Every structure is written in C-alpha cells, then in structure tokens.
Structure 1
Amino acid sequence: MKETAEDEAVRNRTYRVVADELRGFIERFETLVEEKAAIGDQQKAVMAEAKARGYDTKALRRLIALRKRHAEDIAEEEAVLQLYREALGM
C-alpha cells in the first residue's frame, strides 16, 4: 500500500508529538538530577557545619537513619544486639 501525502502528514505530526513528549520527560528528569545534586551539596554543608561545631557526624547520620525507622524495629534490633553482646561477654 502506497503512502499518500495525507498519511505522511499524519505520521509526521505523530512523530513530532512523540518527540516533544519524550523530550519533556528527559528534560524533567535532567532537572530532577540537578536538584538532587544541589540537595546533596546542601546536606554536605549541613554536616560540615555540624562537624565544625564539634558534633560527631557519624553519630548524627546514625540518628537520622534511626528517625526514619519505626520504634518497634529499632527496639527489636537493639534487643538482638544486646543478646549478642551478652553472648560474647561484651
């Protein structure tokens, strides 16, 4: 079947729409990557400031991770750790 001029015009419009949509997704993703990098830099700056003021940043990161978890999960993990410490005589 031979493609008519009208068929070609429809195909071109379809490709143009798909390309525009695809470009939109890619640009949105790239923007998010840039924002994520900027946030990472801000997080590093906060930790550097805390360290400069004498805080243990390793402990701060541990506290931040703990705050994301449920209290029951933390209690269970700490109970297991205590049991293991006792078994090892620590």
Structure 2
Amino acid sequence: KGYVKHRSIATCGSCCSYDITVGTINALDVNRHQPVIYAYENIPQIKKIEKPVHAIGVPTTTIAEKVVAVLNEVITNETTVDTVYNLEPQITSHN
C-alpha cells in the first residue's frame, strides 16, 4: 500500500490479462527486498530488461524450431502432419 501511495502505476484498458495482473501483484509484494517479476512470454527481449525477470512459457526459439521441423517434413515427404503439438513451457531467470 505504501508503494502505491508514492508512485504512479500505469493503468490499462480491458485488454489486460489475468497473467499480467498476477505478475504485477507478485512484483509489488512489499515483503520482498527485491521485487520478482514474472513475464508470461519467454522471448529474447526479456534479457534487455535491467531488473530480474522470470520468463514463463515456451521459448520462441523452441516454437521456431518446431515450425521449421514440421514445414521441412511437409515439404520433404509431402505428407500431412498433426494439427496439435505439445510444447513444454519453461521458467527462465534473467538477472
């Protein structure tokens, strides 16, 4: 509560997701000496943030590798492929 009293926090319209809200609440936990921020997109740009961030999700490199493998299979073998692929999310810490 004290943090919010002395700082302005950006507001957003109806486009905000539950994940962003939860991540923000965790970051504002006043009992922590250093806030922990959880990003729900595991993209390379997260490394550019100057504060510690934990990225949760399937890394874009993993997604890209799967897309290339599937396209290569279709082009090379001219076969049909599955319509759903399960990719495992990861937690990556960027300090």
TM-based fold match above 0.5:
no
Q: Which has the higher helix share?
A: 1
With normalisation by structure 1, the TM-score equals 0.34
With normalisation by structure 2, the TM-score equals 0.32
Q: Which has the higher strand share?
A: 2
- Structure with the bigger RCO (C-alpha within 8 Å, sep 6+) is 2
User: Which of the pair has more CA radius of gyration?
Assistant: 1
